[in-house]
Structure 1
Amino acid sequence: MTTTVGSPAGAARRPGTTATAYPRYLAGRLGGAAVSLLAVLVTSFFLFRVLPGDPVKAMTRGVPTSAGQMATLRRQFGLDLPLWQQFTDYCAKALTGDLGTSYQFRAPVGELIADKLPATLLLTGVAVVLYSAVGLWLGTRSAWRHGGLGDKLNTGVALTLWSVPSFWLGLLLIIVFSVGVGPVPGLFPTGGMESGDETGPAYVLDVAHHMVLPVLTLVAVGYAQTLLVMRASLLDEMGGDYLTTARAKGLRDDLVRRRHAVPNALLPTVTMIFINLGHVAAGSILVETVFSWPGLGGLFYQALSVPDLPLVQGLFVVFAGAMIVMNLLADLLYPLLDPRVGR
C-alpha cells in the first residue's frame, strides 16, 4: 500500500512530529527562565542603587567617624569602585552563589538568608497549602452552582477580602484577638514566633499559637484569589460539549465535575498556585513586619531601612528566583494536565 505525503496516514507516520515537540517546548522554557534570571541579576543591582541614603553614613550614624575612616569603609565594601566594576564583580560572585556581605550585620548574605528562611517557609508554606485547598474547593462549588445564594455569598466575601490590604487586616486581627475589644479577650500573642521558654511538644504548641493570626491573615487574602480564578476557569468549561456527552452516557453530576470539568479548568489555577508557592520564599513582607515574624520579610524590611545593598540585592534575587523556578515548574507540568500543550 502506498501512502501519499498529504494523507492522514502519511501525517501519522511522519517521523519527529511529536518526538521533538516536547524537547523544543522544554528548551524554550528553560531558555526563557535563564534569560529571566539574568534580567533579575541586572535589575537587582541597578534598581537598589537609586535608593536614597548613604550606606556608610547609615552604619556610622551616632558614632564619631573621621573622613579617613569613612573612606576606609567605602573601600572595604567596594563602594569606591566605578559602577561598571561593581556590577561585574557582583554578577561574577552571584553566579558562584556568593551574594556578598551584609553592611549592617557584617555577615555573608547567604548565611543570613538561610538563618531566616525556615521561619518564612513555615508561616507562608502552611498558609499557601490552606488557602489553595480552601480556594479550590469553594471555587469549584461556586462555579458548579453559579447564581445560587452560596455562589453569591462566596464571591462577595472573596472580592471583599481580595481588596483588603493584608497589613490592615493583620492590624485589625491584632486589635481584636490580641489586645481584645469589649467582651472579646486577648487570645493570641501580638507578635513573634515563640515565647522563648518552651521545649519539646510545648514548644510546637507555642509556635502554633503564635502562627494563628499571621496565617489567618494570609489565608483570608490568599484564598479569595484562588476561589475567583478557579470559579472563572470552571465556568468557561461548563458549556463544553464533552460535559454534555459525559452526562448523556449516564455519569453522575459529581463524576462529571470531578473527572472531566475540574481537570480541564485547572491550568490557570495551577499557574496561580505555583506562583503562590514562589511567594513562599518571599513570605509576606508586610504581614511578617506587622506580626514581628522573624523571617525573610522582616529581614528585607531591615535591609531597606539602611539601605543594606548586598542584603537587599540578595533577598531580591532569592525572591525573584523562586518565582521564576515555580513558573518553570508550572510550565513543565502543563503537558501532564493537557497533552495539547507542548505538542
Structure 2
Amino acid sequence: MSGASTPGVVREAAGGPLGTEPSGRTARAASGTRAAYPLYVAGKLGGAAVSLFAVLVTSFFLFRILPGDPVKAMTHGTPTTAEQLATLRRQFGLDLPVWQQFTDYCAKALTGDLGMSYQFHAPVGELIAEKLPATLLLTGVAVLIYSTLGLWLGTRSAWRNGSLGDRLNTGVALTLWSVPAFWLGLLLIIFFAVGIGPIPGMFPTGGMSSGDSTGFGQVLDVAHHMVLPVITLVAVGYAQTLLVMRSSLLDEMGGDYLTTARAKGLRDDLVRRRHAVPNALLPTVTMVFINLGHVAAGSILVETVFSWPGLGGLFYQALSVPDLPLVQGLFVVFAGAMILMNLLADLLYPLLDPRVGR
C-alpha cells in the first residue's frame, strides 16, 4: 500500500495543487505588479501636473515682489513723460488688475506663449531657444563627466571603506562640495586665465569663442573656452554624486545576499558589480536625474563669472531690470526641466526595483 501510494504523492507534489501553488502565487504577484504600474504612472503624472501649475503660480507672484518698476528701468536715462509711461504700462498689460494679469499669463503659458521681453523686445520663447544650445553644451558635458566620475569614485571608496584612498576621496569631495562655484571659478580665472607669478595665462577669461575661426578650428576654440567653466562645474558637482553613491553602497554592504554571493564562489569584483551596485543605485539615480534637470538651468553664477552666453547669463540680465516676462519664462523652463527629470526618475524606479511600484 505504502509503495503503491508513493508515486501518487510524488505526482501530486510535482503537478498537482501542491506543485502549482508557488507558480500561481508568482503569476498573481506579477499580474498585480503589472496592474499597479499604470496606477503608479498615473499618480506620478498627476503629481507632475500639479507641480507644474504650482510653478506657474510661483513664477508669477514671486517676481512681482521684486523691487523696481520695469517700465522706469526700461526708460532709464531717457526723458519720458507720465503719458508715455502710462502708454508703456498699458502696452505690456501692467495696468490691468493682478488677477487678470495672472489668468492671461497662465492661458498663454499653457499654449507655449511666454510673453514678450521688455528689454529685448522679442518673444521670450525665441530668446530662450537662442541661448539654450550654449547652456546644454556647457552643463551637459559637465554633468556627463561629474556623474560618471562621482559614480566610479563613490563605488570604489565605499568598497574600500576606511582605506587611504577612501579617506582622500571623501576629504576632497567634502571640501569641494562646500566651496561656492562662483568663488572657485574666480580662482581658476586668476590662476589659469589671467596668470599669477610664474603661471602664465593659458585659457580665455570668458566667452564661448574668439569669433575668428571656422570649421574644426572653431570646435577647438569653443573647447578651449569651455575648459575652465567645465572644470568649475565638475569640481563642485562630482562631490555630491560621490558622497551619495558611497553612502548608498555602504548601506548595502552588510546585506546577507552579498555574503551568499561570496559563499557561492563569486569574485569580489562580480559581487560588487552584479549585486551590490545595482541595489545601491536608487538614491544615485535620483541625483543623476536631478543633475540632468540642471542641464537646462545651467549654472547662473558660473555662466555669469565666465561670461558664457547661455540661459544663466540671460537670467541674470533679466533680473537686473527686472524683465518680468523673461524672468518668469526662464523660471518655468528651469523648474519644468526639474519636474520632467524627477518624473522620469520616478518612472524608472520600478524597473530598477519592482517593489517601488507595488
Q: TM-score, normalised by structure 1?
A: 0.97
Q: Which residue of 2 aligns with 1:116?
A: 131
Q: Which residue of 2 aligns with 1:71?
A: 86
Once the two structures are superposed, residues 128-174 of structure 1 have per-residue CA deviations (whole angstroms, 9 ceiling, x without a partner) of: 00000000000000000000000000000000000000000000000
Q: Which residue of 2 aligns with 1:204?
A: 219
Q: In structure 1, how many angstroms separate the alpha carbons of the residues matched to 2:134 and 2:25? A: 58
Q: Are 2:104 and 1:89 aligned?
A: yes
Q: Which residue of 2 aligns with 1:149?
A: 164
Deviating runs (4+, > 2 A) in structure 1?
6-19
Q: Which residue of 2 aligns with 1:18?
A: 33
Gaps of 5+ in 2: 1-15
- Residue 308 of structure 1 deviates from its aligned partner by 0.1
Rate the CA distance shift 1:203–1:9 in 2: closer, same or farther, 3 A: closer
Q: In structure 2, how many angstroms separate the alpha carbons of the residues matched to 1:168 and 1:9? A: 61
Q: Are 2:247 and 1:232 aligned?
A: yes
Q: In structure 2, how many angstroms separate the alpha carbons of the residues matched to 1:15 and 1:222? A: 39
Counterpart residue type for residue 55 of structure 2: V
Q: Which residue of 1 aligns with 2:238?
A: 223
Q: In structure 2, how many angstroms separate the alpha carbons of the residues matched to 1:290 and 1:93? A: 33
Q: In structure 2, how many angstroms separate the alpha carbons of the residues matched to 1:236 and 1:15? A: 28
Rate the CA distance shift 1:207–1:18 in 2: closer, same or farther, 3 A: same
Q: Which residue of 2 aligns with 1:261?
A: 276
- Residue 19 of structure 1 deviates from its aligned partner by 3.1
The SS at the match of 1:336 is: helix
Q: In structure 1, how many angstroms separate the alpha carbons of the residues matched to 2:166 and 2:331? A: 39
Q: Are 2:47 and 1:43 aligned?
A: no
Say if 2:33 and 2:357, in contact at 8 Å, map to a contact too.
Answer: no
Q: Which residue of 2 aligns with 1:102?
A: 117
- Residue 9 of structure 1 deviates from its aligned partner by 5.0
Q: Are 2:312 and 1:331 aligned?
A: no
Say if 2:253 and 2:276, in contact at 8 Å, map to a contact too.
Answer: yes
Q: Percent identity?
A: 85
The SS at the match of 1:19 is: helix
Rate the CA distance shift 1:7–1:239 in 2: closer, same or farther, 3 A: closer
- Residue 186 of structure 1 deviates from its aligned partner by 0.2
Q: Which residue of 2 aligns with 1:308?
A: 323
The SS at the match of 2:280 is: helix
Once the two structures are superposed, residues 153-202 of structure 1 have per-residue CA deviations (whole angstroms, 9 ceiling, x without a partner) of: 00000000000000000000000000111111000000000001100000
Task: Pick one of 147, 156, 161 that aligns with 1:132.
Answer: 147
Counterpart residue type for residue 194 of structure 1: S
- Residue 20 of structure 1 deviates from its aligned partner by 1.5
Q: In structure 2, how many angstroms separate the alpha carbons of the residues matched to 1:14 and 1:214? A: 50
The SS at the match of 2:337 is: helix
Q: In structure 1, how many angstroms separate the alpha carbons of the residues matched to 2:212 and 2:25? A: 75
Q: In structure 2, how many angstroms separate the alpha carbons of the residues matched to 1:98 and 1:260? A: 48
Q: In structure 1, how many angstroms separate the alpha carbons of the residues matched to 2:25 and 2:287? A: 40
- Residue 242 of structure 1 deviates from its aligned partner by 0.6
Q: In structure 2, how many angstroms separate the alpha carbons of the residues matched to 1:250 and 1:177? A: 51
Counterpart residue type for residue 276 of structure 1: N
Q: Are 2:336 and 1:321 aligned?
A: yes
Alignment: residue pair count: 341
Counterpart residue type for residue 17 of structure 1: G
Most deviating of 8-17 and 123-132: 8-17
Task: Pick one of 285, 299, 305 that aligns with 2:314.
Answer: 299
Q: Are 2:198 and 1:193 aligned?
A: no
Counterpart residue type for residue 56 of structure 2: L
Gaps of 5+ in 1: none
Q: Return the structure number with greater helix share.
A: 2
Q: In structure 2, how many angstroms separate the alpha carbons of the residues matched to 1:109 and 1:12? A: 53
Once the two structures are superposed, residues 230-274 of structure 1 have per-residue CA deviations (whole angstroms, 9 ceiling, x without a partner) of: 000000000001100100000000000001000110000000000
Q: TM-score, normalised by structure 2?
A: 0.93
Counterpart residue type for residue 62 of structure 1: G
The SS at the match of 1:46 is: helix
Rate the CA distance shift 1:8–1:249 in 2: closer, same or farther, 3 A: closer
CA RMSD, aligned part only?
Answer: 1.6
Q: In structure 2, how many angstroms separate the alpha carbons of the residues matched to 1:9 and 1:195? A: 68
Rate the CA distance shift 1:322–1:104 in 2: closer, same or farther, 3 A: same
